[in-house]
Amino acid sequence: MKKIFLELDVSGTLGDAAWNETEEPKGFIKAEIQKPKASLCDHSQKTSHLDGEWREVTVQIDETCFEDALTFYRGLDRILAVETED
């Protein structure tokens, strides 16, 4: 398994909707939203995320699908950055 770290733009969405609406590429194993690093989310869950808010998402993916997953995530509008483990 390899890990991919994503910065997911959550602006204008509620809760984890931005991630839940993201399609998963072939070989997807497990992903989870992490606590925000760059912005604090101190508003109600019933209020949309503000412009500029993002969440870190960690994706574990099978090594055979790793390059395809990188290409897939880099092509999504809500993905601000894609990083990998060394």
Confidence of residue 77 (pLDDT cuts 50, 70, 90): very high
Long-range pairs for 72-78 at CB < 8 Å and ≥24 separation?
72/25, 73/4, 73/6, 73/25, 76/22, 77/9, 78/8, 78/9, 78/10, 78/18, 78/22
Neighbours of 68 (CB within 10 A): 13
Domains delineated in the chain: 2-84 (3.30.70)
Q: Are 48 and 12 in contact (CB under 8 A)?
A: yes
What's the confidence (pLDDT) of residue 21?
86
How much of the chain exceeds pLDDT 90, in percent? 24
Residue predicted with more confidence, 44 or 9: 9
What's the confidence (pLDDT) of residue 9?
92
Global pTM exceeds 0.75: yes
pLDDT tens profile 11-39: 999 888 888 888 776 556 666 656 555 45
